[in-house]
Amino acid sequence: MELPGLGQRCAERTCRRLDFLPLKCDACEEVFCKDHVRYDDHKCSSAYKKNVQVPVCPLCNAPIPVQKGEIPDVVVGAHMDKDCKYNPAQQKQRIFTNKCLKPGCKRKEMMKVVCEQCGGNFCIKHRHPLDHDCKGSSRPTSKA
């Protein structure tokens, strides 16, 4: 039994399927079935209004405005040559710069770990006075 008041037919000429959950194209405002609602599937003549992509610079991740008729690759290339804020030196900055002062240890830490007794900078493993043979204080230290 068909329910004539429910659903709508797909606007695609080759389909015309009766769909009970039709979808409206947001560009051309016509109704389509799930198989033809995409711009490319129904060859939407108004897709240029909605299907807009803004290229992004691969170096600085900034969106690059492209005027109608311009080639995005050329515009992004011109941005990279002139206006790009990318700094290659910034990428090579080292995070782990605090070298351990314990002889023989080559570890580096992100933050300074300073011994309260001798004032030296050490890694996490050698941060305690007994672990780096601290000579800063004359009083004995205990592991507790």
Which tens digit of pLDDT belongs to each residue from 65-124? 888 778 888 999 998 888 888 766 565 566 678 899 999 999 988 888 999 899 999 999
Return the pLDDT at 51.
67
Burial 30-49 (b: 16+ CB within 10 A, else e): bbbbeebbebeebebeebee
Return the pLDDT at 23.
92
**Who wins on pLDDT, 64 or 2?**
64
Q: Which of 12-21, 84-93, 131-140 is predicted most confidently?
A: 12-21
Residue ranges and CATH numbers for the domains of the chain are: 7-51 (4.10.1110.10), 53-89 (no CATH), 93-136 (4.10.1110.10)
In 3-state terms, what secondary structure has residue 71?
Answer: coil
DSSP letter string, 117-144: TT--B--STT-STTTTT--S-SS-----
Q: Is 105 exposed, middle or buried (0-12, 13-18, 19+ CB in 10 A)?
A: middle
Displacement of CA 135 from its chain's centroid (Å) = 48
Contact 25, 35 (CB under 8 A): no
Confidence bin at 136 (pLDDT 50/70/90):
confident
Checking if the pLDDT of 11 tops 80, the result is: yes
Under 8 Å CB-to-CB from 37, ≥6 apart: which residues?
Answer: 23, 25
| Residue-averaged pLDDT of the chain | 84
